[in-house]
Structure 1
Amino acid sequence: MGLMASTELKTKHFRILLLGLDEAGKSTLLYRVKFSDTDVLTAPTIGFNVEMLQRDKGVALIVWDVGGQHKMRQLWPFYFQDTDGLLFVVDSADKGRMEASKREFERALKHECLKGIPVVVMANKQDLQGALSADEITKRFHLKRWCSNRDWHVQPCCARTGQGLSAALNVLFSLVKNKIPSKYEGSHASIREDR
């Protein structure tokens, strides 16, 4: 067995689902983290993107970025199985679609496959005037009620600049590894973003 195959066998993988309405900034967020590039250009995701974010030498986050258009949201449950953690991206400045975003978030949390998994809500687009704060998103989404049976966190961020992204992934990783201790025995504290 080659060195690469041997290394891949030792790597522990966490399956992370990245959801949110279309234009919330999911793909921008994912590729900003993956490539640490301020000039990330993305198009609306038709279907899904899958990227591996290496965490240390022995752990990787496999992130499934699923399109958020209305037609795609109906297919979200097909991606729920075997998910270790959920990143839900909210366009904090789009108050007109906040209720729709909340409704889709609640629908996802009700699904049996996502029962009890850790959740990090990304309050994206904090750089825009009028963006709701993390506290306001927490209240509007009734997170204390909807997430009472799971670990959760709301992270203010800006996918365009990268602000808050590493912090959010660190929190998610910590929540996931605590939920599934058999998958990971180490205690590293920060995400190493691929370049």
Structure 2
Amino acid sequence: MPGFFSSFFQWLSGLFFSKTADITVVGLQASGKTSFVNVITSGQWSEDVVPTVAFNFRKIRKGNVTMNVWDVAGQPKFRSMWERYCNGVNAIVFVVDSTDHGNFETARFELQQLLAQPSLSGVPLLVLGNKNDLDGHASVNDIIQALQLSKIQDRPVSCYSCSMKSQHNLDIVLQWLAGRSH
């Protein structure tokens, strides 16, 4: 019987105390953006992910938080759309392939271009160094240095090393995202 009351209370409090977080996921192509969205929505990772064309939208409920997630394509021709989908959100998630050291400079440039937009001033940033299950992945400190995250002063910035495949650190990432809800 105590389990019933606990479940009922959670359901009832979810009705009256639910929160929403609008989140946009961006990053270079093949960094793991869509895999991230798939894993947090279904708990399933797949190697057969079709590259996103333009954007995908998913609604995810975790506890009393509903997350509206925009997964925006990372190919060069779609990067000009990033600002539009990041405008007015509670958080920007920037996914980096932590094994693709050769693209860190491009990732830094694109992130700096995005964050320079006045409409995005103050929007919290979460950088995910994906694919930490693979040999040769960059550490969090390497990613912070390569993307010059310590120079970002106009918003909260967090960086985590994670793996969509093994789901390493995704619980912390979800807590961080839920903390951005209103």
TM-score, with length taken from structure 1: 0.80
Aligned to 1:28: 35
Deviation at 1:81, TM superposition (A): 2.0
**Cα deviations by residue, 1:156-185 (Å, 9 ceiling, x for unpaired):** 0011221112211212332x24xxxxx2xx
Distance 1:78 1:38, change over 3 A: closer
**Cα deviations by residue, 1:12-53 (Å, 9 ceiling, x for unpaired):** 321101000000000011101111113463110001111112
Q: SS in structure 1 opposite 2:167?
A: coil
Match of 2:140 among 130, 134, 145: 134
Which structure 2 residues correspond to residues 1-195 of structure 1 after superposition, within 5 A?
11-39=18-46, 41-57=48-64, 59-146=65-152, 148-174=153-179, 176-177=180-181, 183=182
Deviation at 1:127, TM superposition (A): 1.3
**Cα deviations by residue, 1:95-134 (Å, 9 ceiling, x for unpaired):** 1111111111111111122211111100001111111101
TM-score, with length taken from structure 2: 0.86
Question: Partner amino acid for 1:82?
Answer: G
CA contact (8 A) 1:83 1:113 kept: no
Quote the Cα distance in structure 1 between the aligned partners of 2:46 and 2:74.
22
| Matched length | 169
Distance 1:171 1:63, change over 3 A: same
Quote the Cα distance in structure 2 between the aligned partners of 1:167 and 1:19.
19
Report percent identity of matched pairs. 28
Quote the Cα distance in structure 1 between the aligned partners of 2:121 and 2:157.
13
Output the aligned Cα RMSD: 1.8
Quote the Cα distance in structure 1 between the aligned partners of 2:46 and 2:97.
19
CA contact (8 A) 2:27 2:74 kept: yes
Structure 2 gap segments, 5+ residues each: 1-13
Q: SS in structure 1 opposite 2:66?
A: strand
Quote the Cα distance in structure 2 between the aligned partners of 1:170 and 1:9.
20
Quick check: which has more Rg, 1 or 2? 2
CA contact (8 A) 2:38 2:45 kept: no
Structure 1 gap segments, 5+ residues each: 1-6, 178-182, 184-195
Deviation at 1:65, TM superposition (A): 0.3
Deviation at 1:80, TM superposition (A): 2.3
